[in-house]
Amino acid sequence: MSAFDNFFFIGLPYITIVLFFGGIIYRGFSGAMSGHRGKWDWSARGDYLWTTRSTGFFGRASIGPASLCLHWGILLLFLAHVVGFIGAAYAKYEWVNFFFRWVGLGGGMLLLYGLIWALARRIVIPQVKAMSRAEDYIILVFLILISGLGLYQSAVKLSFGAVSIQAGPWLGSILKLQPNADAISGAPLVNKLHIILALIFFAYFPFTKLVHVFSYPFGYIARPFISMRKYIGLKK
């Protein structure tokens, strides 16, 4: 096993775990991203930098397909990966075939379509471009690369089954604090890149606007009602 495998499949997973959970806890409770630096209090509600900085007011015709495909794609891929790895661990290879190939393929296509829409909006619509930060583009590029490599594995290389069987024991060894990268070290380069990019992305995750997902459902239960009015009456 090479130094490359040791770092990316033994060292990097633990770096990712520490940054992912530690970053979310620190950012959520310290007020580090709000105007109350150093104040230890839950800051998810009322913290502008915790939110998505929504661009939905601009280019509304394009936000629907981008948002729906992106969110449903992520949910389907999460389901596909969880059930697929469980199937590989318990030799339920029909689960691996169905969830990693078909559910993963459908979710990956939805996600990639939504991501391309979202990136196009930030480039083409002037108001959205003006609101965008470097972070917004970095997130989209990361996710496009990860989902693109995943789709390549599922639709072109058809290597999802063998790699899930390799990745399952490796992932289990990481969680049991007995890291062993021997199983994953023999995987094709495209599969390794998919995993490495995903690990780097999750390490970066707490320092982005994506932390807003942890506001749900807690921040939505007690928030005030929002009054909605049809715009058609204002046109007269």
Number of helical (H) and strand (E) elements in the chain, helices listed first: 11, 0
Per-residue pLDDT tens digits of the chain, which is 236 residues long = 688 889 999 999 999 999 999 988 877 776 555 555 555 555 444 455 566 666 655 666 667 777 889 889 999 999 988 888 888 777 777 877 788 778 888 999 999 999 998 899 889 888 888 888 888 899 999 999 999 998 888 777 666 666 777 787 888 889 899 998 887 888 888 889 999 999 999 999 988 888 877 765 455 555 555 555 555 554 55
pTM over 0.95: no
**Which CATH code of 1.20.950.20, 3.40.50.720, 1.10.10.60, 3.40.50.2300 fits the domain covering 3-18+57-206?**
1.20.950.20
Count the neighbouring beta carbons within 10 Å of the beta carbon of residue 1: 13
For the chain, the domains span 3-18+57-206
Closest-CA residue to 219 (of 51, 53, 37): 51
Angle formed at CA 38 by CA 35 and CA 40, multiple of 5 degrees: 100
Contacts for 175 with CB less than 8 Å, ≥ 6 apart: none
What is the token pair recorded at 28?
A: 């959520």
